Amino acid sequence: MKTSYTNWLVEKDNEQIITLSLDKPDTTTNVLSQNVLIELQSILDDIRKVPAKALIFQSKKDNCFIAGADVKEFSSFLNSSDNLPNQSDLKKSDTAYDQALHAVQLGQHVMNSIENLPFPTFALLNGHCLGGGMELALACDYRIALDNSKTRLGLPEVKLGIHPGFGGTVRTNRLLGVFKSMSLMLSGRTLSVRGAMRLGLIDEIISKNIKNKYFKKLVNLWLDKAKGQTRSKLKYFKQQQKRSFYYNLFEMDFVRPLIAYMLTKSVSKKVQKTHYPAPFELINLWQFHAGNDDFMMKKEAESVASLITSDTAQNLIRVFHLQDRLKTLSHSKKDKPLEHIHIIGGGVMGGDIAIECVYRGFTVTVHDQSHEVLARLIQRGHRFFKHKLKENHLYQSSMDRLIPDFKNYGLKKADLIIEAIIEDTKAKQSVFKYAEQIAKPECIFATNTSSIPLDDISQVLSSPERLVGIHFFNPVARMPLIEVVSSKLTSTAARQFALQFAGKIGKLPLPVTSTPGFLVNRILTPYLLEAIELYGEGIPAEFIDKAATHFGMPMGPIQLADKVGLDICLSVATNLSKSQSVRVPEKLIQWVENGRLGIKTHKGFYDYKNGKPVYKASHYDGLSRAQISNRLMFRLFNEAVACLDEKVVENEDLLDAGIIFGTGFAPFLGGPMHYIKHKGIEEMDHTLIDLSKDYGRRFNPVIGWDSLIYK
């Protein structure tokens, strides 16, 4: 028997086992929108009335069980209740909090209905099972995952400024205990199938090749065990098997405050409560309400409703949408073949690019004039793949595709050539002039320059339209953004090829024009240089960095400059000073001349021990933290407005996305342009004028502020 609904397919076989398959139309991803939940609740109400032995949840989509709740609906809570489908009991006078609370309670009600069905329930997980999808799986009695390397499981809600709200805080703690469950929810990390199995989040892993046959065997085996026992007794026995003396001890009223204190102290080392309140609210929820499931669910819903309507959550949701927007830029109906990548320059940056490309499945040849550099690259690749790829055949396959190429043979075979040598125009011109003579006519040339305009490099090329900028950020494996740089001569095909390439290696592509510094370095450099100016005025590095992190930056500018490398900072600043109103601080020149280049030489503005800065006890009574952060951030904001005015990027959203994913700019603030509008354009403009009176012309508001004010 089959019954089709808008989002669900209901099937019942001869053994009285019901299968519910989710297949949300017109999308490759299943999400729990309110329409999906309402429809599911109606189906569950009908299922309770018919005889059945078991219920199985699965997905009809490849590599996606359920990716979570519908994030697009989250923003609607701040708008009219008309945006919420089929909610006749909501009134237009309802507050955003009321709307959010109703939506969360709907999700809780559906999950409770699954948990309270009068027969066993199973979740067959294949592909992403995240957020609300994981909460649905937790409401089932048994979770079985297909052995799929693309599957990720977890509860990443904190990354959106909230925490699990469909009963997940209760069920995860009930299943795993406080330390495992809190570690999962507070970090927002996602797990592989095997990682989830080790944690206890799932019960079984089965091969995709024997799914249908073996899965039904597992279901029937579980049902055989259930004969003669009530379902409630079975569920209680299964939970008690996983509980220990320590689990019950940690749930006691007199122990919870101590554990909550430990958890809060750990989280406080990573984020500030004023910036990211969700993890702290999650700890409070457990501390004060654990042990009373019904009341904790009530408080869970109220907490999520309050968080989701806050500025922090709405800004983080905005960042989520910006990320999706960048991902769509890499999609194209016409996909140019890409198999072989040739990289010129096997140093830190070129080597990291090579390893990342190999990890994503490409064959990569790497040319360098030094045998020692290539040998170090192979050693780094060995360590990386051994850590990332647990199966020996995957490790060996990756090492086979990372090919040192001292004699540059790869030039003839490559579909894409990436130059990653020193930041010198003539050196880069020499590389591409030689490559053009040997490479295939259809091969695309890419430079990893961080600040040199493409027009300067392409002067020596017969076909300058083949040259595009693909600017990676350091460290390559961690930084999600790639700037795709186009000059007026760059062909549309080359630009689109670069955008697609970024997507194929799991990066976010940001299209920018070929102006000095492009977007990220151009906006970041004045911010870093102002920090060096402050340092030169006698303000200790620690005070400067704390002012920036207190504002919301993930790392202080002094420490960031040391991490990037002071020689790189000097090179970028020097290039920008030729065309922009950028003055290179004497202290930066002095440090580089003295060989203090940052972390890589163990000495920069800080001294470093085991890669970590050594902080010196110091006292400072000068500028306040707010005054320091104003000087830092307004240099950044001013340059952001200039870049927007000069069309370095297409619009404000892309600028915000670039600075968030390229510099780590405080995501909870939604991006620099979003922050400027939130604080008030005229107020920000006036602050710049005041700063310029005190500190000079570098704070003069750029012309673009007028355009924003009168827009």
Identify the structural domains of the chain with CATH numbers, from first to last. Answer: 2-309 (3.90.226.10), 340-514 (3.40.50.720), 521-647+680-709 (1.10.1040.50)
CA–CA distance, 552 with 276 (Å, rounded to integer): 10
Phi, psi of 312 (to 5 degrees): -60, -50
Q: Which two tokens stand for residue 209?
A: 């090749």
170, pLDDT greater than 80: yes
Question: Per-residue pLDDT tens for 4-31?
Answer: 899 999 998 888 889 999 999 988 899 9
Question: Per-residue pLDDT tens for 51-72?
Answer: 888 999 999 998 899 999 998 8
Q: Quote the pTM value.
A: 0.89
242, pLDDT greater than 70: no
CA–CA distance, 280 with 268 (Å, rounded to integer): 9
CA–CA distance, 68 with 37 (Å, rounded to integer): 12
Nearest to 557, CA basis, from 547, 568, 570: 547
Measured over all CA atoms, what is the biggest interatomic distance in the chain, rounded to whole angstroms?
A: 84
Nearest to 572, CA basis, from 592, 550, 549: 592
Q: Which two tokens stand for residue 177?
A: 């205990």
Residue whose tokens read 């809570």 = 77
Parallel, antiparallel or unpaired: strands 17-22 and 8-12:
antiparallel
523, pLDDT greater than 90: yes
Contacts 24+ apart (CB under 8 A), 367-373: 367/342, 367/343, 367/405, 367/406, 367/407, 367/408, 367/410, 367/411, 368/344, 368/404, 368/406, 369/406, 370/346, 371/406, 373/346, 373/347
Strand order, beta sheet including 340-344 = 402-404, 363-367, 340-344, 416-419, 444-447, 467-471, 481-486, 508-513
Please list the residues that pair with 532 across neighbouring strands.
none
CA dihedral 499, 502, 507, 511 (to 10 degrees): -30
Q: In the predicted model, what is the mean pLDDT of residues 194-213?
A: 82
CA dihedral sign, ordered 286, 287, 291, 295 = negative
Question: Per-residue pLDDT tens for 488-499?
Answer: 999 999 999 999
SS3 (DSSP) at 683: helix
pLDDT value of residue 152: 94
Q: Which two tokens stand for residue 271?
A: 């984020």
SS3 (DSSP) at 145: strand
Q: What percent of the chain has pLDDT over 90?
A: 73
Alpha-helical runs (H) found in 271-401: 278-289, 293-308, 311-329, 348-359, 371-388, 392-401
Q: Which two tokens stand for residue 486?
A: 């186009």
CA dihedral sign, ordered 206, 208, 211, 213 = negative
CB atoms within 10 A of CB 62: 10
The radius of gyration of the chain's CA atoms, rounded to the nearest angstrom, is 28
pLDDT value of residue 86: 43
571, pLDDT greater than 90: no
Question: Per-residue pLDDT tens for 443-472?
Answer: 999 999 988 899 999 999 999 999 999 999
Q: Answer yes or no: are the C-beta atoms of 200 and 180 closer than 8 Å.
A: yes
Q: In the predicted model, what is the mean pLDDT of residues 239-262?
A: 68
Q: Range with the lowest mean pLDDT among 503-512, 528-537, 577-586, 663-672?
A: 577-586
Q: How many residues belong to the chain?
A: 711
CA–CA distance, 357 with 364 (Å, rounded to integer): 7
397, pLDDT greater than 70: yes
